[in-house]
Chain A
Amino acid sequence: MITAVKTLLGYQETVPQRTSSSGQWQRLLIVCMVVGLFTFIVLPVIELMERALQNRSGEYIGLENFFTYFSSPSLFQSAYHTVTVAVITTIISVGAALLYAYAIERTHMKGKTFFTYMALLPLFAPTMMYGISLIYLFGNNGVITTGFFGTLEDWFGIGEWDFEIYGLKGIVLSEVIFTFPQAFLILKVALSTADQRLYEAADTLGASKLRKLFTVTLPNIKYGLVSAIFVCFTLSFTDFGAPKVVGGQYNVLATDVYKQVIGQQNFSMGATVGIILTIPAVIAFVVDQIIQRKKEGGISSKAIPYKTPNNKRRDRLYTLYCLIVSGMFLLLFGAIVAAAFVKVWPYDFSLTFRHFGFGNVAGDGLKPYWNSLLVSSITAVVGTFLIFLGAYLVEKSRYMKVIRKISYFLSILPIALPGLVIGLAFIFFFNQQMFQVPFTSIEFMNPFNWLYGSMTILVLANLVHFYSVSFLTATTSLKQQDKAYESVSEAMDVPFYKTFARVTLPLSLPAILEMAMYLFVNSMTTISAVVFLYSPDWKLASIAMVNMDDAGDIAPAAAMALLIIATNILVRTLYEVASRFLFKKTYAWKR
């Protein structure tokens, strides 16, 4: 059995080599890494799967939960709803982002930097925020619904609209805004590498514009397009924040998980729905792996960069389009600012800071915000270090090849796990008093039980949730460094940690900054992974938003959203400044 696995993973017997102490340290770290990944990713997921096969009292019932789920019309309906939301969101979001990315990459329009930042704005806010904005704009007392509070009626005689924002429309709008920046970033990269020669060849053959679109442009970005489609689909399929706020009666899978777990305390059904929630992401994961393999060697090194032809009319059209899109984003953020500062919407429009006191809201005050700041900072610092070290060991060590392969797989696995599923799996794993060794009656104390309800579990959940993307950022940067650095150091008898500190880290600093920024910003805005895990002592800002919204205190929720966004924009700005500084400082290395 073990030999079979070894053969499968490409293990081969070699003449043994005495390991230097530097090598022993690497082996130890590699073992710690794989044990850590296994404990905090694989074990909780196994725990979740087991729970999906049990009834409420913990007896094994096979796939019964799944049958129950699909035979219950109301539950089945939310599956249908979720697919509807995901499909519509994907179409709109990818389409809109494609045009926007095209405007940035393939026109001569002015203000590209501004438009790029505008497109990234939604990354800084929790998804619930878009829901709240939409309510302020299109809800029963919304600015637009009431025709600017009757102004339009007074002036033009146009009456009130009813947008019915609660439900499908509200969810889809929120998800489009949420997924837009992600699709935009992917498609921007895809569009940035084009081969001028192909366009010239098409011109020589007298191809029409439409023909060129279908024969050159689209095939060229097909991998990016597939990627963007999958990302938008899975994100909107699994998102929890927006449907929670603007969903109304329109149930989706994510809100079902929440209701089953928090509302009905039916953990088994929660686990079942959680597994269903994971399906698209798992499919996306598999397809992505296949694509990655195909993509290698696809780009010709002889490609000549695309030169955008001059076309004033095209530039004007795209400028208009980008203005409209950024205008809408600004409108949403404007609505949140207004909501946060206006005294009593829509009756008293005088301005106030009192919503930022959060005094009457469950008495938590600003504590959730400070908690979030602390948890995000720790996640960013600890996460960047651990994830970078992990990527380094996987990429650069020459020891324990098979275990490093397994670690690589475990490191990119979390990308397929929705936040809610991670949260749920963590409850099952950490809340358990005793562990049972499978197929035996041996039981032992859960050594991690004490973490339940602590701040550490929130950090851990964030780490798992955002592990893969950071890991890939680190891996990409490490791959660009010569593998011989490690060999040279070893030959010179320099321990690996010296070269790690003196060469690898400095060369990877841009990637490290990016990882820290990514981890921080996402930990500030996430709800899904932590909503099941926080304790009253460790309530986070995003969760406080959910609670305030539940209690009808929408203005303080908006104020909290504003705090989160402001913090994230500040961190992003710091990141940009640090990156520039670093670039200047290291200019001599690159000449």
Chain B
Amino acid sequence: MEHLKVNGVYKNFGEFTALEDVSFSVSKGEFVCLLGPSGCGKTTLLRIIAGLEQPNKGAVMMNGKDITHLPPAKRNFGIVFQSYALFPNLTAFQNIAYGLKTRKMTKRSIREKVHETLRQVNLEHIADRYPAQLSGGQQQRVALARALALSPDFLLLDEPLSALDAKVRVELRNEMKRLQKQLGITTIMVTHDQEEALSMADKMVVMNNAELVQSGSPQEVYEYPLTPFVSDFIGTVNFLEDASSLRAIRPEHVELKTELRENSIPVSIENMEFRGGFYRMMLKNKINKQARYLFADVSAEEYKKEQYELGQTIYMKFQESGMMHFTDYPVQSKPLVSSIS
């Protein structure tokens, strides 16, 4: 059965529509990433699930029961805000103990619980420091520990990693994922970073302009995006458009050859980016110069073999198996890639 379900939620701020008919569900123990560009309503949705904001219409269900009318305290979730919202005048220990104090626990069991939680996030040594004396990553983990200390049914995280620098972010990504699996706690994490979502999520929920556009496993969403927006937002994509249809293909499904063949387009190499195991080539269509840049991935081996040079003319061909077709979408006024042949 679904652990948590969001059912047809609407939210307006005055004239402004922040959420329009959003529905999705979360299974027990699942790690769900709520992904979408900035301002699309992710935080608002999270606050509605938490009960900190009320929807204009719709319901939040838990284990099949409607909890929309319940105040936040009765929903039993832990929450970490984008700003962490650690109390600056309390030490890490006091911050984590803050919610336990109202739970009629003995001083000793509070202390034990706090230390246990600190251990889980590897921060036992900083218990007596104030938030201002901690690094960004440590602050984030204290905020996480504060949310976990109350043994919540589910965890809500609002862009918990966005304030950190890239290296710490990747480290914490793994640590959070490990902890989540270890505790088996159902988690909804908001993010605008597609890479983060792809690498962490069991299930992705993609939003745009106050609406939910697609949900599914990262592989599903990546390989079978329902709309051009999703294909573009998650990963890199080349749009191919002719009079009646819009198609798209990912760079890894593009083949590059040095000589002309059937059904291939001549392009010139504009840029070559080393990405570790492969190179990402930025290419310019030689027939239609107004078209958007095209991208193709080349394995390091092949790159070495072919000795590509900037400005060189090569020919690209699309693997039919990797082609995505968007039927319902109107053809855009400005062609992205004009007629291929």
Q: What is A's interface to B at a CB cutoff of 8 Å?
A: 10, 12-20, 22-23, 398, 482, 484-485, 487-495, 498, 502-503, 506-507, 586, 588-591
Contact = CB atoms under 8 A, between A and B. Distances in A.
A398 B85 CA distance: 17
B60 to A, nearest CB: 9
B56 A503 contact: no
Contacts of A491: 50, 52, 72-73, 77-79
A302 B59 CA distance: 44
A491 B78 CA distance: 7
A479 to B, nearest CB: 14
A17 B102 contact: no
Contacts of A494: 98-99, 101-102
Nearest to A586: B89
Contacts of A588: 130, 132-133
B330 interface: no
Nearest to B78: A491
A16 B57 CA distance: 10
A17 B70 contact: yes
A415 B262 CA distance: 80
Contact of B102 (A19, A487, A493): A493
Given A15-B59, A591-B132, A507 B88 contact: yes
B68 A488 contact: no
Contacts of B131: 589
A3 to B, nearest CB: 15
A54 to B, nearest CB: 42
Contact of A17 (B69, B78, B79): B69
A131 B51 CA distance: 61
Interface of B: 12, 14, 47, 50-52, 54-59, 68-74, 77-79, 81, 83, 85, 87-90, 98-99, 101-103, 130-133, 146, 150
Nearest to A509: B89
B52 A490 contact: yes
B83 A482 contact: yes
A25 to B, nearest CB: 13
Most chain A beta carbons < 10 A, residue from B14, B71, B131, B150: B71
A79 to B, nearest CB: 44
B85 A17 contact: no
B12 A12 contact: yes
A187 B87 CA distance: 34
Given A23-B71, A492-B150, A589-B132, A14 B99 contact: no
23 contacts: A14-B56, A15-B58, A15-B69, A17-B68, A17-B71, A19-B71, A20-B74, A22-B73, A484-B83, A485-B87, A487-B81, A489-B98, A490-B71, A490-B73, A491-B79, A492-B102, A492-B146, A493-B73, A493-B103, A502-B90, A586-B89, A589-B131, A591-B133
B78 A589 contact: no
Given A15-B58, A19-B71, A493-B99, 18 more contacts: A12-B12, A15-B57, A20-B74, A482-B83, A484-B85, A485-B85, A485-B87, A487-B52, A487-B81, A490-B52, A491-B78, A492-B99, A492-B146, A502-B87, A502-B90, A589-B130, A591-B130, A591-B133
Nearest to B9: A15
A398 B150 contact: no
A497 to B, nearest CB: 12
B68 A15 contact: yes
Contacts of A493: 73, 99, 102-103
A589 B146 CA distance: 18
Nearest to A484: B85
Nearest to B152: A491
Most chain B beta carbons < 10 A, residue from A13, A17, A19: A17
Contacts of B130: 588-589, 591
B81 A488 contact: yes
A489 B150 CA distance: 12
A10 B13 CA distance: 8
Closest 10 CB pairs of A and B: A492-B99, A484-B85, A493-B73, A14-B54, A591-B132, A484-B81, A20-B71, A503-B87, A589-B88, A490-B72
A15 B87 CA distance: 31
A240 B58 CA distance: 60
Contacts of B90: 502-503
Nearest to B79: A491
A464 to B, nearest CB: 32
Contact of B69 (A16, A488, A590): A16
Contacts of B73: 20, 22, 490-493
Most chain A beta carbons < 10 A, residue from B57, B68, B73: B73
Contact of B54 (A15, A23, A490): A15
A494 B96 CA distance: 13
A506 B89 contact: yes
B85 A482 contact: yes
A502 B87 CA distance: 9
A509 to B, nearest CB: 10
Nearest to B71: A20
A17 B60 CA distance: 12
A491 B80 CA distance: 10
A494 B89 CA distance: 17
B102 A495 contact: yes
A590 B133 CA distance: 8
A375 B130 CA distance: 40
Contacts of A20: 71, 73-74
A15 to B, nearest CB: 5
A17 B81 CA distance: 22
Contact of A507 (B12, B89, B150): B89
Nearest to B73: A493
A419 to B, nearest CB: 38
A450 to B, nearest CB: 41
Contacts of B12: 12
Contacts of B79: 487-488, 491
Contacts of B59: 15
B132 A17 contact: no
Nearest to A588: B130
A23 B71 CA distance: 9
Nearest to A492: B99
A558 to B, nearest CB: 46
